[in-house]
Structure 1
Amino acid sequence: MLVAVRTVGVEEELLVVDSSGRPVPLGPAALEVAARRGEGETVEEHDRAERGDDEAGGGDPVGRLVPELKTQQLEFGTRVCTGLDDVAADLRHWRGRADAAARDVGARVAALASSPVRVEPQSTPGERYTEMAETFRLTAAEQLTCGCHVHVAVEDDEEGVAVLNRIRVWLPVLTALTANSPFWLGRDSGHASYRAQAWNRWPSSGPNELFADAAAYHRLVGELLATETIVDTGMVYFDARLSERWPTVEVRVADVALRAEDAVTLAGLVRGLVETAAGQWRAGVPAPAVRSEVVRMAAWRASRSGLTGDLVHPATGRPAPAGAVVTALLAHVRPALAAAGDEQRVAAGVAAVLDRGTGADLQRRVFAATGDLTAVVRAAVEATHT
């Protein structure tokens, strides 16, 4: 049994944009700059690592900048952290280093989960990304989206699967809290998180039914691979999954947060969910018997309205005001937050989001005031680094 506070790590994807606010295919050039500084992995190095040709690589974004699916993106990961102060410091450090590398090639980075302005996404070179582009065609071609993935340590796969079974009903609330992609192809999508809609076009995405045990989880992954539809296990895009490379549960439902502190709040909430779920499992509390269709409906609704409308309450399966559902989430994890020393910071972070709104709300306010989507991007660049 884990006796210390569970470690946590965060991966973020960022848009590379020019001064006009348009995403530009300068991610690979920025990575060349970062690699010369010992802070990044070039596209070629990343591709070798993904193929297993480079033992020093591994394709993981921890502690360096790496490529993503599109050349208009950069990705990074924090260290394995114990305290949220360390998560915050790493997020700000790597956002800054990504921006410095982008500045050197005439661009900036913005924590936007989709591009407000119309853009033609360009695929990153490399064997794996090329195979994805050829296999999934328009789904892959249009997938210029930026997410935030939170890893939390688990003792083993059995504990990890028990956690997956118990956190699934709460994950749509995290989507609502982090919504940061209201615009798509130059127009308002009508969704607070349109990234979630675009992402769920992948055949392996979304919620799962309950797993009997870790063996059942791994059988499902094997069955998905056996269909020869997805290219590898890295494309097992469940809302939450067991990490293939780390002893962690990886929660993948969040938009990249516009503000770094909101990503810290997300990390604290995910760690609280994991610790709460593991404690329930050890105490023999059964996982909520909610069908995946209902979870998917709750996720769609969270993507649609963010915090501006009703969400599906995990305890009742009925609509309730977003603030009440978020408050229920905070109450659910509060003992775990207190045990980790996170209660005050996470509660304050949640209150701040409820008070001022999400990244999606800020984007829409800027557009309402200016009528200019490039102004939305410029405001996002500023917020990314505050």
Structure 2
Amino acid sequence: MRSVGVEEELLLVDPDTGEPRAVSGAVLAFADDDTRLEKELQREQVETGTRPRTSMGDLAAEVLRWRREAAHRARQAGAEVAALATSPLPVEPSVSTGERYQRLRDEFRMTADEQLTCGCHVHVSVDSDEEGVAVLDRIRPWLAPLLALSANSPFWQGRDSGHESYRTQVWGRWPSAGPVEVFGSPERYHHEVRTLLETGTLLDEGMIYFDARLSRSYPTVEIRVADVCLDRADTVLLAALVRGLVETASRAWQAGEPPAPVSARLLRLAAWRAARSGLTEELVHPLTWTPAPAGTVVRSLVDHVRTALTDAGDLELVKDGLAELLHRGNGAARQRARHTRTGSLRDVVTDAVSRTTA
């Protein structure tokens, strides 16, 4: 059974106004050695990370544990945490202390200054770089539907962006972000990384911001396309689908099935449509590359990984979780519904705070 780990970036917000607060240093000062909390680019956010788990039930408990731990530490610093991929309220972020973060700010200026976005990164274990690159090559068409499921950032600087995931638009400003072409081998993957670094544009390998990549720190592939999910149940659904994709891709590679010959340009277009439409409109279907209802596309994703889900014991969890998600909507839908009812972006944040640790 492949292990799965999840990293979630959370906003730190004022409990009264809902505005982001630059208190990550104080939050982390209260953390002990066992606390899996880390700072991020901006002082208005903090990152949690689960341990690797093979059971989705155990993973769900871990996600909740570290969300609650982050909330507890934030309250000690006079703040709350909210699983929002962008701040609904206007904010001028402040870059975290540290030489690397300051170099990022000096080099990338407004891109770094405005980059207050929160994603969800899913790590799935692989046996080797060869298997990992084979997986990366074969999961490419299915990453956009994962973004649609997780979309949780409709508001930007106090306005409705018109997107379900505006985080994707902001994140895409980094020079190495987004989909990539088929690599074919670990040698070509590492050559591509070295070539990007040798341009002198990126600070280091940590800036390889591909939608999916080999992890630098763990024997995993790391899928980075998703917004942080408002509901932890959606985080677990995302993790189960990602593990299913990795296992399905590995089996296809072992069976000698080539990756789909789809270009990075087409993948970027499909991701743009997923970020724009979420689950509310049509997406680009990864099998036909034509428009299809979002529900049809995500059910095709489940069909694509059905055997792997069944073998892992995750099929019913995914079917139930997807049915619930399609019924109530993703985080972007909940944010917009809340704003429609109350007319208050502050209330959107307050609702998110309560949902984050529910």
Q: TM-score, with normalisation over the residues of structure 2? A: 0.99
Question: Following the alignment from structure 2 to structure 1, what is the Cα–Cα distance between the partners of residues 231 and 345?
Answer: 19
1:274 equivalent in alignment to 2:271: no
Shift of 1:351: 1.1
Q: Provide the residue aligned with 2:9 in structure 1.
A: 13
1:263 equivalent in alignment to 2:208: no
Which of 24, 27, 31 does residue 28 from structure 2 map onto?
31
Shift of 1:39: 4.1
Q: Provide the residue aligned with 2:304 in structure 1.
A: 332
Which of 164, 172, 179 does residue 192 from structure 1 map onto?
164
Question: Following the alignment from structure 1 to structure 2, what is the Cα–Cα distance between the partners of residues 300 and 141?
Answer: 23
Any idea what the Cα deviations from partners look like across 1:5-33, whole Å, max 9, x if unmatched? 10110000000001210000011101101
Question: Following the alignment from structure 2 to structure 1, what is the Cα–Cα distance between the partners of residues 268 and 38?
Answer: 31
Question: Following the alignment from structure 2 to structure 1, what is the Cα–Cα distance between the partners of residues 317 and 334?
Answer: 22
Question: Following the alignment from structure 2 to structure 1, what is the Cα–Cα distance between the partners of residues 318 and 122?
Answer: 15
Q: Provide the residue aligned with 1:236 in structure 2.
A: 208
Amino acid paired to 1:174 = L
Any idea what the Cα deviations from partners look like across 1:172-230, whole Å, max 9, x if unmatched? 00000000000001000000000001000000001111112110000000000001111
Shift of 1:350: 1.1
Question: Following the alignment from structure 1 to structure 2, what is the Cα–Cα distance between the partners of residues 168 and 157?
Answer: 17
Cα root mean square deviation, aligned: 0.7
Question: For 1:175-254, what aligned pairs fall within 5 Å after superposition?
Answer: 175-254=147-226
**Where in structure 1 do 4 or more consecutive aligned residues deviate above 2 Å?**
none
Shift of 1:164: 0.5
SS in 2 for 1:254: strand
Shift of 1:113: 0.2
SS in 2 for 1:34: coil
SS in 2 for 1:161: helix
Question: Following the alignment from structure 1 to structure 2, what is the Cα–Cα distance between the partners of residues 356 and 101?
Answer: 30
Question: Following the alignment from structure 1 to structure 2, what is the Cα–Cα distance between the partners of residues 212 and 339?
Answer: 27
1:159 equivalent in alignment to 2:134: no
Q: Provide the residue aligned with 2:349 in structure 1.
A: 377
Amino acid paired to 2:316 = Q
Question: Following the alignment from structure 2 to structure 1, what is the Cα–Cα distance between the partners of residues 55 and 200?
Answer: 41
1:311 equivalent in alignment to 2:299: no
Q: Which runs of 5+ in 1 are unaligned?
A: 41-63
Which of 143, 146, 154 does residue 174 from structure 1 map onto?
146
Q: Structure 1's 256 and 79: CA in aligned 2 closer, same or farther, altered over 3 A?
A: same
Count, aligned residues: 357
Shift of 1:107: 0.6
Q: Provide the residue aligned with 2:58 in structure 1.
A: 86
Task: Quote the sequence identity (%).
Answer: 57
Amino acid paired to 2:28 = L
Amino acid paired to 1:102 = A
Amino acid paired to 2:142 = W
Question: Following the alignment from structure 1 to structure 2, what is the Cα–Cα distance between the partners of residues 108 and 213?
Answer: 44
Q: TM-score, with normalisation over the residues of structure 1? A: 0.92
SS in 1 for 2:297: helix
